[in-house]
Amino acid sequence: MPDGKDDFVSRRPFPWASIIDWGWILAVTIASSLLLYSGWKERSPYDSPDILAHQGNAIDLISNGVIPYRGQGLSYSGWAPPGTSFLMVPGVLLMSDPRLAEVPGAVLLHFGTLLFLFLIIRDLFGRGPAWAAVAVAGFMPVTGPMLWPNGHPFFVVGMLYCLMGWVRGRSPHWFSAALLLAGLGMYVYFSLAPALAAMAAIALVFRRPVSRRSIAAVSVCLFLVWLPYLIFEAGRGFIDIGSMLLRRDLTAMETQPASAVSCYATLPGETDFQDWNYLPWTGSYDVDRMIFPGTGRLAALSLQACTLLNKMDRNFDSGHFLFGDPAWPTAALFGMCVTGWMILLFRSWSGWKRPAAWFQRLRTVPVWKFIFGCGIGAAAIFLLVQPVVVGSILAGDPDWNLPARLLLAQIRSYGIVIWTALVLGLLLASRSDLPAGDAGVPAIMIGVCGILLWALSEIERSWRFYWLWPLQAAAIAVAVGSLIRWWKPPRLISAGLIVLTIALFFPYRLDASKVNAIRQYGYGGRESGQMQAVEWISGQAARNPARTVTVSVSRYGGGQDATRVWGWLEFGLKYLFVTPNAMVSDVSPEDDFRVLEFTGADLDLHPQACPWEGYDLVWEGRRYAICRRR
């Protein structure tokens, strides 16, 4: 641990303290898992086609020994690596219900993420801030215990811990361990590539010894892991890897380029998503806050500037926090994250001679001067960056046009938050004794990953940022830990500050409807009837194994995609290993059984008989009914 005079931070834990720490990490893991999976009986195993692909791969691996060679379909119309399929194997082996198949692997990864995060922050600031980091990162729903392929921060946090060990000179093998985690992480979720860029930057900056033998062994191991996917890609001319690296849509390459997405101009902490959907796609946006794609260089620059400003506080404008819609708590949380990163960045410069002398002089500057400078800068940004001033100077028109006014409002708000975080970060960094090496590794990891995501990700896909959340939680913990180390309050006040941080920014929005559902139906929620329908069909198929049973699924009342909703049934039968004698397809005159799916208002309008002539109603559940041919 770094040197420090504060007993709260630097004192070696008592022997029983390690047991309490492990218990805390386990408690957060279990609690966040219980929160996330409440009401699991109402979920469909086909809710996520991404997860469905990996569950199918895991089933084929277990039952037929088929090594997965490709993963889910991507938003660029290509195929991802199949790493998540292997993480699904424990759940397929242990869970009889496909709705819970991701739980064992997901909970194990989540525990590992929190463990690595705890060790990182404990080494920097002690146990208290480490506890806060585990709580703040552990309960975030978008990076919680799930195997949805848009997450998996375990690999990045593990890389950071290994790289910190390597820079501290523990062993050259720590770098090889980080390389292994990077390769496995990209095999699970290729969009973790910015972490590999951060790793390269850390290696170039610190230049610690490496073990060529261990790097060679890791390279061979990763090659064997990637080999099935590489063989698959070789047959396709590596088109999928190219589309992921260059962010090119394979379907758009054959037709016309995709049109630019509109930007919904938001301020810090405000969300531009509604129920996981980008607002311009929902039709519920405020038209006075929209910047639409247009022709000309100025229109393109306005749209690009809006998207960059919107993405600046991604993960803090998701609406998944305790406070929900109010913007100021999440804006403050974003400010704390920036402050923590500034502290790490400034402290990493302290290893150089000139910055070290500069920080030594800043240490003696009174606090009130920092506060005064912060206030003057914020007031200047507020007064100068607005249409009445900028518009008069640049265009001679104080009203100016709508896109310009929206952009100025964004620049003014984000500018004030970032300026305040910068000054506060400079104050705490100048009072900190954190070694430059300890600060430099997380500063580069958080900065490179965040900046690359900020510059390259699409505005309408907020989930690109989800895996960054534990690193952002680490930055928040750095801000809290630096404040405690400088302030040196009594232990009770330090503990209270940590508890207050967790309480104010508890990253899980409490939902009264979930509590009521648990009261009425139990923890698992109300059964939809989907799996009961699968089991009923599988029982009918098992009666005559020599004959193939033909089944179709239709939405009651018809409508769009009325006969193309059968994927869940096909998958459920496959999960129960009854697919050889059960064929699921579109509606056909040869159907032995037809399954009706009720949605929306039709849930209360179950028919007394089947809508098809020659079929009888033989089974009925909450959302599904089964008709058998006479």
Q: What is the pLDDT of residues 360-370, one digit of tens each?
A: 888 888 999 99
Could you read off the pLDDT of 69-85 as tens digits, one per residue?
Answer: 988 887 777 888 999 99
Separation of alpha carbons 119 and 116, rounded Å: 5
Among 47-51, 192-196, 280-284, which stretch is predicted with the lowest mean pLDDT? Answer: 47-51
Q: What is d(CA 445, CA 478) in angstroms, rounded to the nearest whole number?
A: 14
Q: Is pLDDT at 166 greater than 90 in this prediction?
A: yes
Pair of tokens at residue 284: 């519920």
Mean pLDDT of 332-357: 90
Q: What is the pLDDT of residue 1?
A: 38
204 against 390, higher pLDDT: 204
Per-residue model confidence as pLDDT tens digits over 497-548: 888 888 777 777 676 777 787 888 888 888 878 888 888 888 888 877 777 7
For 269-282, what is each residue's pLDDT tens digit?
Answer: 888 887 777 888 87
pLDDT, residue 146, reads: 84
Domain residue extents for the chain: 273-462, 530-629
pLDDT tops 90 at residue 120: yes
624-629 and 593-597 beta bridge pairing: antiparallel
Can you tell me the mean pLDDT for 46-51?
70
Q: Could you give the angle at the alpha carbon of 315 between the alpha carbons of 462 and 283, nearest 5°? A: 45
CB 2 within 8 A of CB 434: yes
Checking if the pLDDT of 54 tops 80, the result is yes
Average pLDDT (2-9) is: 41
The rounded distance, in Å, linking the Cα atoms of 9 and 124 is 9
Residue of 430, 307, 424, 314 whose CA lies nearest to 371: 424
3-state secondary structure of 550: strand
Q: How confident is the model at residue 110 (pLDDT cuts 50, 70, 90)?
A: very high
Judged by DSSP in three states, 256 sits in: coil
Query: Which of 306-315, 490-499, 576-585 reaches the highest mean pLDDT?
Result: 306-315
SS3 526: coil
What pTM did the predictor assign? 0.87
Give the phi and the psi of residue 158 in degrees, each rounded to 5. -65, -40
Sign of the alpha-carbon torsion through 536, 542, 544, 545: positive
Q: What is the pLDDT of residue 7?
A: 40
Band of pLDDT at residue 2, cut at 50, 70 and 90: very low
Q: Residue 3: pLDDT above 60?
A: no
**Contact indicator for 98, 538 with CB cutoff of 8 Å:** no
- Beta strands across the sheet bearing 549-555: 582-585, 549-555, 593-597, 624-629, 615-620
- Tell whether the model's pLDDT for residue 587 goes beyond 50: yes
The token duo for 121 is 């922050």
> CA 157, 163, 167 angle in degrees (round to 5)?
150
Q: Is 557 left (phi over 0), alpha (psi -120 to 50) or beta?
A: left
Residue 184 pLDDT exceeds 70: yes
Q: Which residues contact 125 (CB under 8 A, 6 or more apart)?
A: 9, 477, 478, 480, 481, 482, 484, 485
Assign 3-class secondary structure to 274-291: ECCEEHHHHCCCCHHHEE
C-alpha atoms less than 13 angstroms from C-alpha of 113 in its C-beta half-sphere:
35
Answer whether residue 185 shows pLDDT above 90.
yes
Residue 396 has pLDDT above 90, yes or no: no
Mean pLDDT confidence for 540-569: 68
